[in-house]
A and B are shown apart, each in its own frame.
Chain A
Amino acid sequence: MRAATFQGKGDIDVRQMPDPAIVNPRDCIIEVTSTAICGSDLHLYDGVIPGVEKDDILGHEFMGRVVAVGKESTLEVGQRVVVPFTIFCGQCFHCSEQRYSNCDNSCPVEDQEVAEKAFGHPMAGMFGYSHLTGGFAGGQAEYVRIPYSDVVPLVVPEDIPDERLLFLSDILPTGWMAALNAEIAPGDTIAVWGCGPVGLFTILSAFQQKAGRVIAIDGVKGRLDMAEQLGAEPVNFHETDILDALKQMTGGIGPDAVIDAVGMEAHGIAIDNMADRVKQAVGIGQDRAHVLRQAIMACRKGGRVSVPGVYGGKADLFPLGAMMQKGLQLRTGQTHVRRYTAELLDLIERDVIDPSFLISHRLPLDEAATGYRNFRDQQDEWIKVVMHP
């Protein structure tokens, strides 16, 4: 089969790889019909997440049709499914509490130790996302092996096109969980950093969850325009002192909740960010936590901090005093995708939301390298890339 493979920092190549086959009884194999490039893939592409090896197949946002099933799978050949990026067993202690991205069993034991050293505990398995999360082959490919296919994939109706369903695999539930983690009370003012796909779905979710106002912060005009179309008040960090603006816009109180939908690769020429950039470049496990620092400083006293943006290392100059003295709460995590998919599918079926507005570019899988490059370097126009094998 053809698959988008990692060949080194900034080097994606579509190559011929072996077809997957059933390995464990609960597996299924799907033929991919649509797959997307995620902001998280850019962290791999830029080499800031460790544990990616040459020839690893990337991609964790995908959907398709079942073409083979193991003897314990409950799916049938021909069924149409969206596949969550977090792999989970459904039976461990964490899964029993629907914290699927904390699953204890889905990452192969040999791959658990690096994450355990770095984070104190091992991570769950994920598709196409480095050996920290199991080294599973990803979905930017013609075929994918899906473990625990009796619980992981979401069977979707035939009459809704791929483009409206695909983002149930990651970014739509991620925006949804980011808003839930902000514990929005009706009428609240929420500030969202980052108007990439995750930020935009966070804004959409915040309004669905009854936010009164959403202030959207980014430095890319095209993306701020999309945020405005969703009803948010755009603020460009290149032109604005963000802390000042947020105070003024909220009558001196600050946003009730702040959401960091940017993560470890923040842009901007702030001093802390430039220092982080140097440290990240020399590979000492430093995250560029500029946005998180700013969000914590901006948040109102007693407010909530929600962090869907991905971090993988350590952060200097973390405003711990502000967290403590203002009595903030912080919630974060890889998304427990499958916990939210039924609810979100319902919103899509009832036409309350149509996530396909995000898609700016459609490419054949063979042009994955172009997709990655432009999604990173031309953010004004390349909002979301969907590929078809």
Chain B
Amino acid sequence: MLYNQGHTPMPIANWARYGLAATLATAAGGVLIYRRKPGINHDAAPARSARHRRRFGDYRVTGATVTIRATPEQIRACWQGNAQLWPELEYLPFPEGNQPDLLLPPSELRDMASRPLLTRIVAEREDELVAWRSEGDGHADMHGRLRFRDNGAKGTAVEVIMAVRPHHFASAWKTEAMMAEALELGLLRDLRRLRMLIETGEIATARMRPDAA
């Protein structure tokens, strides 16, 4: 798997290359020393802002945050109950019809698995958190959660975090970095769509006609 590959040493043919290797090794060592330097605590970075945030073992972790002028209860009700939202979503899973603890990943996520990828709600704390993880033998392992935090007069801060580990490389997911980037952007778009629907009752579009592209 690409995302797990270590370095394959290149055959070294001349001193110039030794020189280059030595430079790289020094740089890498420097990074390690910098990272280990007491006084820099990478876990102290707020939320997902740590510079090495995207890698936790084999998992890629991404997320997004918006503030919505509504209560956690209203936000959950829209996410889990407003069918107008679901076809618009790119990465945020949404409820599966009559089984309340199952979430369906939207089409973008389904593309990365050749078999249906069901996620099941594994933890719920009223007004605070919903967490889910994928189950079965889908082609990706996925954990996610939606957390609500009071943001004073501005409303409720809604944060989604998703950790994804693909089992095999699906063709649509060219590289791990692209996957993480697409996920992060898509999740932000999804939260913004959710906010639009809750605050304005509709999802903004510049289309001139309902039938226009």
| Chain A residues within 8 Å of B, Cβ to Cβ | 18-26, 72, 89-93, 96, 104-113, 125, 134-137, 145, 147-148
Contact = CB atoms under 8 A, between A and B. Distances in A.
B202 A18 contact: no
A20 B200 contact: no
A24 B209 CA distance: 9
A20 B206 CA distance: 11
Given A109-B192, A110-B189, A91 B208 contact: no
Contacts of A145: 208
Contacts, number: 77
B74 to A, nearest CB: 13
Given A93-B154, A96-B69, A21 B200 contact: no
Contact of A134 (B69, B200, B204): B204
A94 to B, nearest CB: 10
B199 A23 contact: no
Contact of A107 (B201, B202, B204, B208): B204
Contact of B199 (A72, A89, A111, A147): A89
A105 B200 contact: yes
B196 interface: yes
Nearest to B186: A109
Nearest to A148: B200
A139 to B, nearest CB: 13
Interface in B169-192: 185, 189, 192
A88 to B, nearest CB: 10
Contact of A91 (B67, B69, B189, B204): B69
B204 A108 contact: yes
Nearest to B197: A105
A21 to B, nearest CB: 4
A72 B154 CA distance: 25
Report, as a range, how many residues of chain B touch the other chain. Answer: 20 to 34
A134 B206 contact: yes
A104 B195 contact: yes
Given A89-B199, A109-B189, A20 B209 contact: yes
B201 A125 contact: no
- The dominant DSSP class at the B interface is loop
- The dominant DSSP class at the A interface is loop
- Nearest first, the 8 closest Cβ-Cβ pairs linking A and B are A24-B202, A20-B208, A89-B200, A21-B209, A91-B199, A109-B189, A136-B206, A135-B206
B116 interface: no
A41 to B, nearest CB: 18
Contacts of B209: 18-21, 23
B206 A125 contact: yes
B205 interface: yes
Nearest to B210: A23
Nearest to B90: A109
A182 B205 CA distance: 35
Given A89-B200, A105-B200, A148-B200, A23 B69 contact: no
B201 A26 contact: yes
Contacts of A125: 204, 206
Given A25-B201, A92-B200, A113-B185, 8 more contacts: A18-B209, A21-B208, A23-B210, A25-B202, A72-B201, A93-B155, A104-B192, A137-B206
Contacts of B201: 25-26, 72
A27 to B, nearest CB: 9
Interface in B67-110: 67, 69
Contacts of A19: 209
B204 A21 contact: no
Contacts of B205: 23-24, 108
Nearest to B209: A21
A105 B209 CA distance: 19
A136 B201 CA distance: 19
Contacts of B212: 18
16 contacts: A18-B212, A20-B208, A21-B210, A24-B203, A25-B202, A26-B200, A26-B201, A89-B196, A93-B69, A96-B69, A107-B204, A108-B205, A108-B206, A109-B196, A134-B206, A135-B206
B207 interface: yes
Contacts of A137: 206, 208
Nearest to A141: B208
Query: Which one of B154, B201, B206 has the greatest number of beta carbons of chain A within 10 Å?
Result: B206
Contact of B204 (A20, A96, A105): A105
A90 B185 CA distance: 26
A253 to B, nearest CB: 41
B69 A109 contact: no
Contact of B195 (A26, A105, A107, A108): A105
B208 A18 contact: yes
B200 A91 contact: yes
A76 B125 CA distance: 46
A102 to B, nearest CB: 13
B193 interface: yes
A112 B204 CA distance: 11
A134 B189 CA distance: 14
B195 to A, nearest CB: 7
